[in-house]
């Protein structure tokens, strides 16, 4: 029965019962037609006999009246005048009697006709005898015979005819009663047949409902479980009817949803791991930027001391040798500081490039997530009404992926700008180093050419002013780098929260225990070949513990400023840095994910 279609189940009993109804109606119609023909023929014959009997009785009464009138009349002319009518009526009565006798079809009718014939013979014999007496002139004897014998014979004759008329009337009434009984029998037969057909139809409908209702209830429960996120249901696809086709479609839809959810879950875990790595890198970069700001403040303080020394040497030529010696020492310290700044800027440049690579990895992951979300939306659209809830989830995933890609592009642009500024600062620091070398050489020649001190002091003052401005610009760029690091940390934290939200959304779905997430992810098609992961630097390798803290942006007052070294000659304290990194928040431990293929802005434009 499972392989018979629902339409066939519904139409088969209806067709069978319709055929039975047609056969019953045809049989009853033929039966009624035969009964009607038979009854019509019987009624016509009975009606003919009844009419003949009535006419026979009427003619007999009329003829008897004529006979009595002719016999009673004293005038023979009256008798002679009535005799032709009596003879004609007698002949007609004889014809009617013979016709009725031919139509007699029962013993009762034949017996009644025999009685009537006998009574008529007696009546005719008495009538002839009395006519003879009257013709012979024996009127008194004729009158006496008329009263004593003929009139009783006429009464008996008419009574026998009336009995025959009553018999015909009874037979007509019986025939009508039989027709009515046959009609009611046919009606009851059709009624009982229709009642049986209705009962059979109700029984077959009940059986069909019992066969279909459990399957429909199972389909409803399966759809509810899929709507609740359970994608590990066992679906029976052995049926061959319409319900079986719906079960096969639900099974295919469940498999497609399971594959898509597995792919999205794997992508969300990769995003979580990458965002954690970015947070750790931002924390390290924040620490190095803070250290660079401190070094720049030391350099600015040293340059202020050099400026003061040069001005004092111009005002006091008497102490030129001592000041030149001090200036040489200060210049040497400044050269060392500048060299340290150059090294620090190189490290900043290297870190900025590394951040750019990480942002590229995030961009690629966002692109893959967007592709998976698009595939999920397409599959949900194919699923129709059952996939509407998942289409909303796929749209949310796609929106999150696009926001992640946008944040990655903004961070990439900021890092690129920062790299350019760091390279410019490096060139300026190198120029400052060369200037410091010139200052050291000039101070060495002071002892030999003391007379040129006043002339060269102005040039030194201008050079130191230029160096001081360059150091100020470098300090400003360093502060900007610190702000960018905080923004990068905030973006990384937002990316991590979005990845957690994505993981929470796909975590509502329950996949089959046999396959697991790894099997589903292994079946997912890769959008492109991923390049080999970059070799981490020694510092990054040293920062790869099992659990890593993620950098979070916060106000500079969240933690105390680092101690700054004092200035040289005037003993003024160096100003505090404008930005400071907030303390890191712990993040759940996770193994670092293999970086995905880096996708540039051009790929997003094409998509």
Does 582 map to a domain? no
Using alpha carbons, list the distances in angstroms from residue 158 to 71, 115, 140, 164, 279. 19, 11, 26, 10, 137
* C-beta of residue 323 within 8 angstroms of C-beta of residue 589: no
Does 231 map to a domain? no
Q: What's 257's domain CATH number? A: 1.10.287
Instruction: Please tell me the distance from the alpha carbon of residue 473 to that of residue 5, in angstroms, as a whole number.
Output: 84
216 in the same domain as 99: yes
pLDDT at 5: 59
Based on the structure, what is the number of domains in the chain?
2
The yes-or-no verdict on residue 118 having pLDDT over 80 is yes
217 in the same domain as 341: no
195 in the same domain as 84: yes
Q: Identify the weakest region by mean pLDDT among 181-195, 316-330, 491-505.
A: 316-330
pLDDT digits (tens, 9 = 90+) for 158-173: 888 888 788 777 777 7
Q: Identify the weakest region by mean pLDDT among 6-15, 140-149, 279-288, 591-600.
A: 591-600
329 in the same domain as 275: yes
pLDDT at 33: 67
Q: Across-strand partners of 566?
A: 573
Instruction: Please tell me the distance from the alpha carbon of residue 248 to that of residue 122, in angstroms, as a whole number.
Output: 103
> Residues with Cβ < 8 Å from 393, sequence gap 6 or more?
376, 505, 506
The last residue of a domain, from among 458, 491, 508 = 508
Instruction: Please tell me the distance from the alpha carbon of residue 89 to that of residue 66, in angstroms, as a whole number.
Output: 10
328 in the same domain as 192: no
179 in the same domain as 303: no
299 in the same domain as 165: no
Does 426 map to a domain? yes
Residue 298 belongs to domain spanning: 244-508
DSSP assignment letter at 515: T
Q: Across-strand partners of 510?
A: 230
Provide mean pLDDT across the span 338-354: 78
Does 41 map to a domain? yes
Does 566 map to a domain? no
Q: What is the mean pLDDT of the chain?
A: 70
The yes-or-no verdict on residue 50 having pLDDT over 50 is yes
Q: How confident is the model at residue 419 (pLDDT cuts 50, 70, 90)?
A: confident
Instruction: Please tell me the distance from the alpha carbon of residue 334 to that of residue 16, in angstroms, as a whole number.
Output: 111
206 vs 31 pLDDT, higher one: 206
pLDDT at 272: 76
293 in the same domain as 181: no
| C-beta neighbour count of 371 within 10 angstroms | 18
Does 476 map to a domain? yes
- Whole-structure pTM value: 0.33
361 in the same domain as 303: yes
248 in the same domain as 162: no
* C-beta of residue 130 within 8 angstroms of C-beta of residue 146: yes
pLDDT digits (tens, 9 = 90+) for 242-259: 777 787 787 888 788 888
Q: What's 218's domain CATH number? A: 1.20.120.30
The last residue of a domain, from among 486, 508, 530 = 508
The yes-or-no verdict on residue 603 having pLDDT over 50 is no
The last residue of a domain, from among 508, 541, 574 = 508
Does 67 map to a domain? yes
80 in the same domain as 52: yes
Only one residue has tokens 């230029």, namely: 466
248 in the same domain as 218: no
Does 541 map to a domain? no
């Amino acid at each position: 029965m499972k392989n018979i279609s629902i339409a066939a189940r519904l139409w088969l009993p209806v067709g069978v019962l319709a055929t039975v109804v047609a056969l019953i109606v045809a049989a009853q119609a033929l039966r009624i037609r035969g009964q009607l023909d038979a009854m019509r023929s019987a009624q016509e014959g009975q009606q003919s006999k009844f009419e003949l009997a009535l006419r026979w009785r009427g003619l007999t009464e009329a003829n008897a009246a004529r006979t009595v009138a002719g016999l009673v009349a004293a005038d023979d002319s009256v008798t002679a005048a009535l005799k032709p009518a009596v003879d004609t009526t007698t002949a007609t009565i004889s014809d009617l009697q013979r016709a009725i006798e031919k139509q007699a079809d029962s013993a009762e009718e034949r017996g009644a006709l025999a009685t009537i014939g006998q009574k008529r013979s007696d009546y005719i014999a008495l009538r002839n005898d009395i006519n003879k007496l009257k013709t012979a002139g024996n009127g008194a004897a004729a009158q006496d015979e008329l009263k004593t014998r003929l009139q009783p014979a006429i009464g008996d004759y008419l009574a026998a005819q009336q009995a025959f008329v009553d018999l015909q009337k009874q037979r007509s009434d019986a025939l009508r009663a039989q027709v009515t009984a046959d009609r009611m029998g046919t009606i009851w037969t059709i009624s009982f047949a229709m009642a049986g057909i209705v009962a059979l139809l109700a029984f077959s409908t009940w059986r069909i409902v019992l066969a279909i209702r459990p399957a429909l209830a199972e389909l409803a429960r399966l759809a509810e479980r899929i709507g609740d996120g359970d994608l590990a249901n066992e679906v029976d696809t052995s049926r061959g009817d319409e319900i079986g086709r719906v079960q096969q479609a639900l099974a295919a839809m469940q498999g497609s949803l399971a594959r898509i959810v597995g792919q999205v879950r794997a992508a969300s875990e990769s995003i979580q791991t990458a965002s954690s790595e970015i947070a750790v890198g931002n924390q390290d970069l924040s620490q190095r930027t803070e250290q660079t700001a401190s070094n720049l403040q030391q350099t600015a303080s040293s340059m202020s001391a050099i400026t003061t020394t040069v001005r004092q040497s111009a005002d006091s030529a008497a102490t030129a040798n001592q000041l030149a010696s001090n200036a040489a020492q200060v210049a040497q310290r400044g050269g060392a500081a500048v060299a340290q700044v150059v090294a620090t800027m190189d490290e900043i440049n290297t870190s900025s490039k590394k951040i750019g690579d990480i942002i590229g990895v995030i961009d690629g992951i966002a692109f893959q997530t967007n592709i998976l979300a698009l595939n999920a939306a397409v599959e949900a659209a194919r699923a129709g009404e059952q996939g509407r809830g998942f289409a909303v989830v796929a749209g949310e995933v796609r929106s999150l992926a696009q926001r992640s890609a946008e944040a990655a592009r903004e961070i990439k642009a900021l890092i690129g700008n920062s790299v350019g500024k760091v390279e410019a600062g490096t060139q300026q620091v190198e120029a400052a180093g060369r200037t410091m070398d010139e200052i050291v050489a000039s101070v060495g020649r002071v002892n030999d050419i003391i007379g040129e001190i006043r002339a060269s002091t102005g040039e030194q003052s201008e050079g130191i002013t230029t160096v001081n401005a360059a150091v100020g610009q470098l300090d400003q760029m360093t502060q900007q780098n610190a702000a960018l690091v905080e923004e990068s940390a905030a973006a990384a934290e937002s990316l991590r929260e979005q990845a957690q939200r994505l993981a929470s959304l796909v975590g509502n779905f329950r996949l089959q225990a046999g396959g697991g997430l790894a099997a589903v992810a292994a079946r997912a098609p890769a959008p492109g070949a991923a390049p080999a992961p970059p070799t981490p630097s020694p510092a990054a390798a040293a920062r790869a513990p099992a659990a890593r803290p993620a950098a979070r942006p916060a106000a500079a007052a969240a933690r105390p400023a680092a101690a700054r070294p004092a200035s040289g000659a005037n003993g003024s304290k160096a100003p505090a840095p404008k930005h400071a990194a907030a303390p890191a928040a712990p993040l759940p431990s996770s193994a670092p994910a293999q970086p995905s293929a880096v996708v540039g802005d051009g790929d997003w434009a094409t998509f």
